[in-house]
């Protein structure tokens, strides 16, 4: 069937690259931290001047008052070396 072949989506493989989270009780208070996947495949948390390595399960954990705000993904075709 020509119609179904033309509507089949391309291979959609995405990798989470970064999460920006808001820490605070309201949008008017608190600050932002970023969890970023480094080129060596390890996650790092950037919290003002403090940078530390973290486990991946901490990235996906959403605990009050920390909530994921912005999620950055890359498509597998855009990344030369997947971690």
Which DSSP string do the residues of 7-66 spell out, in sequence order? HPPPP--EEEEEEEEEEEEETTEEEEEEEEE-TTS-EEEEETTEEEEE-HHHHH---TTE
Per-residue pLDDT band for 79 (boundaries 50, 70, 90) equals: low
Per-residue pLDDT band for 19 (boundaries 50, 70, 90) equals: very high
Per-residue pLDDT band for 59 (boundaries 50, 70, 90) equals: confident
pLDDT at residue 38, as a whole number: 94
- Residues 76, 14 contacting (CB under 8 angstroms): yes
Mean pLDDT of 29-58: 93
pTM score of the predicted model: 0.72
Question: If you count them, how many residues does the chain have?
Answer: 83
Sheet holding 14-26: strands in order across?
50-54, 43-47, 29-37, 14-26, 66-75
């Amino acid at each position: 069937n020509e119609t179904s072949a033309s509507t089949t989506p391309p291979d959609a493989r995405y990798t989470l690259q970064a999460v920006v989270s808001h820490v605070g009780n309201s949008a008017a208070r608190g600050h932002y931290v970023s969890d970023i996947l480094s080129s060596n495949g390890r996650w790092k948390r950037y919290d003002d001047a403090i940078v530390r390595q973290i486990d991946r399960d901490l990235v996906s954990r959403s605990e009050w008052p920390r909530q994921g705000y912005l999620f950055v993904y890359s498509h597998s075709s855009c990344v030369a070396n997947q971690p």
